[in-house]
Amino acid sequence: MAWDFETEPEFQTELDWMDAFVREEVEPLDFVLGSPYDIHNPKNQKIVPKLQGEVRKRGLWACHLGPELGGQGYGQLKLALMNEILGRSHFAPIVFGCQAPDTGNAEILAHFGTPEHKEKYLQPLLNGEIVSCYSMTEPHGGADPKVFTTRAELDGDEWVINGQKWFSSNARYASFLIVMVVTDPDAPPYERMSMFIVPKDTPGVEIIRNVGLITESEGHHAYIRYNNVRIPRNHLLGERGQGFAVAQTRLGGGRIHHAMRTVGQVKKAFDQMCERALSRTTQGEVLANKQMVQEKIADSWIEIEQFRLLVMQTAWRIDKYKDYRKVRKDIAAIKVMLPKVFYDVASRALQLHGSLGVSEEMPFSNQVIDALRLGIVDGPTEVHKVTVARQVLRDYKPAEGLFPSGHLPALREQAIQKYGELLELEVSSF
């Protein structure tokens, strides 16, 4: 038997250190600094590199990476436990060198970059000296990449890119963009696109505007126009026409890391809900005594535990199979679950805090919107439900006859044929 839900004591020591470090040193940054990705901002520079140094000294820097890229090679299960802690603060991932979308972009560069790309883009990214952007979604459609129209055409030794991208997060701070572009419009739909590195300062990269979420004080999601952007021929990542396959390298890992961090965020909302239930009195007793409040707490706890276990099991499967294709269903399932659990728990926490809960003085309204955001980013919930259902149905086949294989009269008949004589039963007629 190898089902074990315990953490090794040595690793628990690291988690305990992280927990205290994030709580005391990192969480306060969310209140006093702007974007974690604005790494060259003098205010960020005053604090973040020092904290990153402490993480490095502790050997916890960029733990999503294998040792060949300077990480610990901890694997996804340990990473899940770490990300639960990091999920509590916007700044924690950057302090620990494991922030999206840089993690996924680094994976692409590690797999498909040339030695020159690795030196120029991957290494500084891993060192935390630069940040990057993933530019795929287009204004007229994101959930269906088959409708993308941004084109790259070869002109001598250069690719020339023209088109528009939408919601390219953190482009304003990025040194380079990884861009998915149509190179072969006449090929079958999943072989039309290719992936490129585009240095942000290349002439023709025009940020039309930075779109903001209602929860952000300024916009971070770039609406970009690529106007005759010329990049060297070897800035193609992977094979021509294999953009979808290259994208899968980053999306699997990216989605589970979102889920791991969400466990941390949801728990934070839940802790506040429980504290409130025990602190606030109405009609002569604490909220915690009211059965409808108890229901909120019980439902939330059960949902969080289910979600966390599915995240952990998926992480364990990734470590076991080392192949994201074998865990597509699991990753899609947690991608569906994460916005729902977050939304449900954050809205219950908001409700129990009454007027204070809905005000700007508590984090719950932001969390509710954040949950909705997570139901869209990296593909909407509906698309992931389709993936789960399709994958599940692969393990089934249609019934052979007119009636289902679970049709009770037939099962009864088979049972009587098997044991009828022994039990002296009569075969029924249909």
Taking the CA of residue 76 as centre, how many other CA atoms within 13 Å lie in the half-sphere pointing to its CB? 26
**Which CB sits closer to ligand FAD, 230 or 373?**
373
125-130: long-range pairs with CB below 8 Å, 24+ = 126/62, 126/65, 126/69, 126/70, 126/97, 128/39, 128/49, 128/52, 128/94, 128/97, 129/39, 130/39, 130/174, 130/175, 130/176
Number of residues in contact with ligand FAD under rule CB under 6 A = 23
Place of tokens 């126009």: 225
Residue 276 CA to residue 102 CA, distance in Å, equals 37
Q: For residues 125 and 132, is the Cβ–Cβ distance under 8 A?
A: yes
CB of 384 to ligand FAD, least distance (A): 10
List binders of ligand FAD among 356-395 (CB under 6 A): 373, 376-380, 382-383, 386
Token duo for residue 28: 């306060």
List binders of ligand FAD among 163-192 (CB under 6 A): 167-169
Single out the residue of 269, 349, 308 nearest to residue 83, CA to CA.
Answer: 308
**Which CB sits closer to ligand FAD, 167 or 307?**
167
CB of 382 to ligand FAD, least distance (A): 3
CB of 147 to ligand FAD, least distance (A): 9
List binders of ligand FAD among 188-227 (CB under 6 A): 213, 221
CB of 291 to ligand FAD, least distance (A): 35
3-state secondary structure of 195: strand
Q: Which stretch binds ligand FAD (CB under 6 A): 162-170, 318-326, 387-395, 405-413?
A: 162-170
List binders of ligand FAD among 130-149 (CB under 6 A): 134-137, 141-144
CB of 176 to ligand FAD, least distance (A): 13
CB of 133 to ligand FAD, least distance (A): 6
CB of 182 to ligand FAD, least distance (A): 14
Q: For residues 213 and 373, is the Cβ–Cβ distance under 8 A?
A: yes
Q: Which amino acid is at 95?
A: V
Q: For residues 177 and 205, is the Cβ–Cβ distance under 8 A?
A: yes
Peptide bond into 101 cis (omega under 30): yes
- Binding flags for ligand FAD, 7-36, as an x/- string (CB under 6 A): ------------------------------
Token duo for residue 162: 């023209």
List binders of ligand FAD among 94-133 (CB under 6 A): 101
Q: Which residue lies nearest ligand FAD, judged by its C-beta?
A: 142
Q: Does 235 bind ligand FAD (CB under 6 A)?
A: no
Burial of 311-321, coded b for 16+ CB within 10 Å and e otherwise, reads bbebbbbbeee
3-state secondary structure of 217: coil
List binders of ligand FAD among 244-273 (CB under 6 A): none
CB of 171 to ligand FAD, least distance (A): 8
**Separation of CA 11 from chain center:** 24
Tell me which residues touch ligand FAD (CB under 6 A).
101, 134-137, 141-144, 167-169, 213, 221, 373, 376-380, 382-383, 386
